[in-house]
Amino acid sequence: MTPFTIVALCLILVRYCFELWLDALNAAHVREHANEVPEAFREVMDEATYKKSVHYTLAKAKFGTASDSYSTAVLCALLFSGWLASLFGQVTNWTGETPWGLALALWTVILLMSLLSLPFSWWSQFRLEERFGFNNSTRRTWWTDQVKGVVLSFAIGVPLLALILWLVDVSGDHWWLWAWGVVVVFQLLMSVLAPIFILPLFNKFTPLPDGALKDRLSGLANRTGFINAGIQVMDGSKRSKHSNAFFTGLGKGRKIALFDTLVEQLNEGELEAVLAHEIGHYKLRHVPKMIAWSFATTLIGFWGLSLLEGQPLFAGAFGFNSHTGIAPVFLLFGLLAGTVTFWLSPLSSLWSRKFEYEADAFASGAIGESKPMITALRKLNRENLSNLTPHPWYSGFHYDHPALLEREAALKAAEPSDLHS
């Protein structure tokens, strides 16, 4: 093995072993509280629902460990046996080595690798989620989603990759800055266009029907300055009984979507609180801040790619031919980057949780009390069988939202009069 392959193997195995330790730590922590509902949650769940949530959490953990073990084994086999380099070479013999040909080759190899994980995706939907009563998807819907995803990735991903590979050829040593600029423009366009053109390919979005709920939510939107943006109901129940709400998009593409399951589960006051929370993300400019963070990390990523491009032995260490240029470096970087960014996930999660606290506080101030938000959060955790007792280390790496008790404590501690000047 070469120094590059040794480092890659160590990165993969250290992350994998740490994930196993985190999963075991969290599972043990959940089991410690499994025998009876902790006192702090007795107003949230009855004993039967709480035990079901414990079983659901442990089942997901077991499935996650199996899936991660499989993915790690496949990745190691492809990287260190030479199979990945051989596959890429065979595909490039068919596609050619122009920017378009290499882009198509990268897309094809990534597609073939993704097919290896399809059985786990299917099992998650039709075994795990079905077992706990969440699955509403049909096999036809599931397969249709997979096909749509492949078509979109081809239509969008291949031209973008081809443009970046062309810039590598024509832009000299600073190609990575030009490539980063292209990706920035692409991300901004997608922020505007995806809610309008892509999300409706998978889900149906409908305006709130006329009535008391629409009047109440429209009044809140007007009071908080959320004008000229859509508040729509999404048919989430087509695939799952899980409930949620989200804010997405920029400019004319921005919208707040409420799952139809959420509308069924919450009363009007609680839905108003959830909407106020999502409006808070907009008013506090959380989406632009997250996009800016994405721009910064993308810039660092392209800089890292430029450094690896300058290491002629890097791709060769994994069996790739040098005549295919930077394309194998792109592929290897994409496969290995997660072993590094994983260790930064607590920082991004901490920032995300800060945004959630701020949006909660905004909602409490907009409504004038914290109770509707608290009861909405309790119902969401109950209906989704959320893990109420995650281990702090596990939640630090995997939770981008604060745990229920943490959000309740913050809401109760902040009086509405203190939230806005």
What's the pLDDT tens digit per position in 24-76?
Answer: 999 999 999 898 888 888 888 899 999 999 999 999 999 999 999 999 999 99
Count of all residues that appear for the chain in the document: 421
**173 an active-site residue?**
no
Q: What is each CA distance from 207 to 38, 116, 251, 384, in whole angstroms? A: 40, 39, 18, 25
In angstroms, the first-to-last Cα distance of the chain is 62
Asked if 278 and 245 count as a contact pair (C-beta separation under 8 A), the reply is: yes
Distance, CA of 369 to CA of 354 (rounded, Å): 20
For residue 228, the model assigns a pLDDT of: 58
Residue 100: pLDDT band with limits 50, 70, 90? very high
Segment 270-299, tens digit of pLDDT: 999 999 999 999 899 998 899 899 999 999
- Runs of H (alpha helix) within 34-135: 47-81, 83-95, 99-115, 118-123, 129-131
Distance, CA of 194 to CA of 217 (rounded, Å): 24
Q: Strand, coil or helix: what is 157?
A: helix
**278 an active-site residue?**
yes
For residue 419, the model assigns a pLDDT of: 45
Region 203-222: mean pLDDT is 90
Instruction: Between 6 and 416, name the one with better pLDDT.
Output: 6
Tally Cβ neighbours within 10 Å of residue 150.
Answer: 14
For residue 248, the model assigns a pLDDT of: 80
**171-185, 322-336, 340-354: which has the minimum mean pLDDT?**
322-336
251: left (phi > 0), else alpha (psi -120 to 50), else beta? left
Residue 310: pLDDT band with limits 50, 70, 90? confident
Distance, CA of 162 to CA of 194 (rounded, Å): 21
Region 242-248: mean pLDDT is 87
**203-207, 311-315, 355-359: which has the minimum mean pLDDT?**
311-315
Instruction: Between 210 and 362, name the one with better pLDDT.
Output: 362
- Beta pairing partners, 207: 232
Q: Taking 90 as the threshold, does the pLDDT of residue 413 lie above it?
A: no
**Structure tokens given for 352:** 């995300």
For residue 416, the model assigns a pLDDT of: 52
For residue 256, the model assigns a pLDDT of: 84
Distance, CA of 229 to CA of 53 (rounded, Å): 36
For residue 125, the model assigns a pLDDT of: 96
Sign of CA dihedral 268, 272, 274, 275: positive
Q: Is the pTM of this model over 0.85?
A: yes
Q: Which helix (H) or strand (E) covers residue 162, if one does?
A: helix 158-170
Distance, CA of 137 to CA of 258 (rounded, Å): 19
For residue 420, the model assigns a pLDDT of: 44
- Residue among 129, 278, 309, 358 flagged as catalytic: 278
**Structure tokens given for 47:** 């004993």
Region 95-123: mean pLDDT is 95
Q: Taking 70 as the threshold, does the pLDDT of residue 229 lie above it?
A: no
Q: Strand, coil or helix: what is 257?
A: strand
Distance, CA of 282 to CA of 240 (rounded, Å): 26
Main-chain dihedrals φ then ψ at residue 82, nearest 5 degrees: 90, -5
Q: Taking 70 as the threshold, does the pLDDT of residue 418 lie above it?
A: no
